[in-house]
């Protein structure tokens, strides 16, 4: 059975054009800076983010880890959200591998961290306390509903932490989705950040990889740490070739995913006992919930949907997470709405 897989945009696979480019890629040894396809990808990524340089890494998790380990020393502290990806889903790597202390601040419903909370979280220069060195923001924000953080907010956050001598990293795994939703150049969204990571996979459909961007000195330090972590890849231009297409072409079609997410949400909202407590989708993520008095759990509904060849994410007893992407079309969306209606009947 061919499934309609809405569990995440991480389930995407490369397009035929990507596969052809991968087969024809010119490669070299990237640890020696001799893979021309990776070099081109890194230059393209840096240009799109408005930064001086880029570094191709196997995953967004490694990209975020490299940013923290490059910006911070052991014993430093990082401010981040309670619902942030680095805190929830990256294995505690900054602490386990870097000796860096996470200081959690509550995420607001719009994905932001309150500027007053950020300022209150910055420690004084006191030998009894860890130095507060870095702020991490996430855009789009996954667990807050795929919401997009605005340029105005990120600029204010950057200005605040910079005034205290701190740095700011943006986990921009889906920064192109944020830029599409806000109708703005992605470079503007990260203009005042000191570094940014974005994924080539997920909605951009490359089979693997992310790019970490920042200034030249930062990337040189990150390259050394990447090697230390085992992330130095050799003839990985075959992967970078797909990443180039991801940036040049796939980033331009994300509005289709957003439109389909909205259509899906509007259709589900018409079904009895389905609620949207987190609001309607801004980007490609849909977070419907079941009413408290609904006799079904989300897992039970998901099981019923699977009989129709539909896979959805379950993120709570009564809550789903569904993500539209390149491999979901309009017909699929209609089928999912109809299947939900039957499953809830």
- State how beta strands 313-316 and 319-323 pair: antiparallel
The pTM is what?
Answer: 0.96
Question: Check: CATH 3.90.1010.10 for 4-10+254-343?
Answer: no
Q: Which of 80, 50, 45 is nearest to 198 (CA)?
A: 45
Q: Are 193 and 213 in contact (CB under 8 A)?
A: no
Locate 326 and state its tokens.
Answer: 């390149």
All structural domains of the chain with their residue ranges: 4-10+254-343, 14-251
What is the residue-wise DSSP string for 217-260? Answer: HHHHHHHHHHHHTT---SSTHHHHHHHHHHHHTGGGGHHHHHHH
**pLDDT of the chain, 345 residues: tens digit per residue:** 589 999 999 999 999 999 999 999 999 999 999 999 999 999 999 999 999 999 999 999 999 999 999 999 999 999 999 999 999 999 999 999 999 999 999 999 999 999 999 999 999 999 999 999 999 999 999 999 999 999 999 999 999 999 999 999 999 999 999 999 999 999 999 999 999 999 999 999 999 999 999 999 999 999 999 999 999 999 999 999 999 999 999 999 999 999 999 999 999 999 999 999 999 999 999 999 999 999 999 999 999 999 999 999 999 999 999 999 999 999 999 999 999 999 987
> Using an 8 Å Cβ cutoff, are 322 and 285 in contact?
yes
Write the CATH number of the domain with boundaries 14-251. Answer: 3.40.640.10
Distance, in Å, from the CA atom of 46 to the CA atom of 37, rounded to the nearest integer, reads 14
Peptide bond into 169 cis (omega under 30): no
């Amino acid at each position: 059975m061919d499934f309609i897989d809405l569990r995440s945009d991480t389930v995407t696979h490369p397009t035929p054009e990507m596969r052809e480019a991968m087969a024809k890629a010119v490669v070299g040894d990237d640890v020696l800076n001799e893979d021309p396809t990776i070099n081109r990808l890194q230059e393209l990524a840096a240009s799109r983010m408005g930064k001086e340089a880029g570094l191709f890494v196997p995953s967004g998790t490694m990209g975020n880890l490299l940013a923290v380990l490059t910006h911070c020393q052991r014993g430093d502290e990082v401010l981040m959200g309670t619902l942030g990806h680095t805190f929830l889903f990256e294995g505690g790597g900054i602490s386990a591998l870097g000796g860096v202390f996470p200081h959690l601040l509550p995420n607001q419903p719009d994905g932001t961290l309150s500027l007053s909370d950020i300022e209150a979280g910055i420690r004084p220069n006191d030998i009894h306390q860890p130095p507060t060195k870095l702020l991490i923001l996430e855009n789009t924000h996954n667990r807050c509903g795929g919401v997009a953080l605005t340029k105005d907010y990120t600029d204010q956050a950057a200005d605040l932490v910079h005034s205290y001598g701190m740095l700011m990293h943006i986990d921009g795994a889906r920064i192109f989705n944020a830029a599409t939703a806000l109708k703005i150049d992605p470079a503007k969204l990260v203009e005042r950040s000191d570094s940014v990571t974005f994924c080539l996979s997920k909605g951009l459909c490359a089979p693997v990889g992310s790019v970490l961007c920042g200034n030249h000195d930062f990337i040189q330090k990150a390259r050394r740490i990447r090697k230390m972590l085992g992330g130095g890849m050799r003839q990985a231009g075959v992967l970078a070739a797909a990443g180039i297409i991801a940036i040049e072409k796939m980033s331009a079609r994300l509005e289709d995913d957003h439109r389909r997410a909205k259509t899906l949400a509007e259709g589900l909202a018409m079904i009895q006992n389905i609620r949207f407590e987190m609001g309607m989708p801004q980007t490609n993520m849909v977070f419907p919930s079941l009413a408290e008095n609904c006799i079904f759990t989300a897992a039970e509904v998901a099981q019923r949907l699977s009989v129709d060849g539909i896979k959805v994410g379950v993120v709570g007893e009564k809550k789903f997470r569904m993500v539209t992407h390149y491999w979901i079309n309009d017909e699929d969306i209609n089928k999912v709405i109809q299947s939900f209606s039957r499953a809830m009947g």
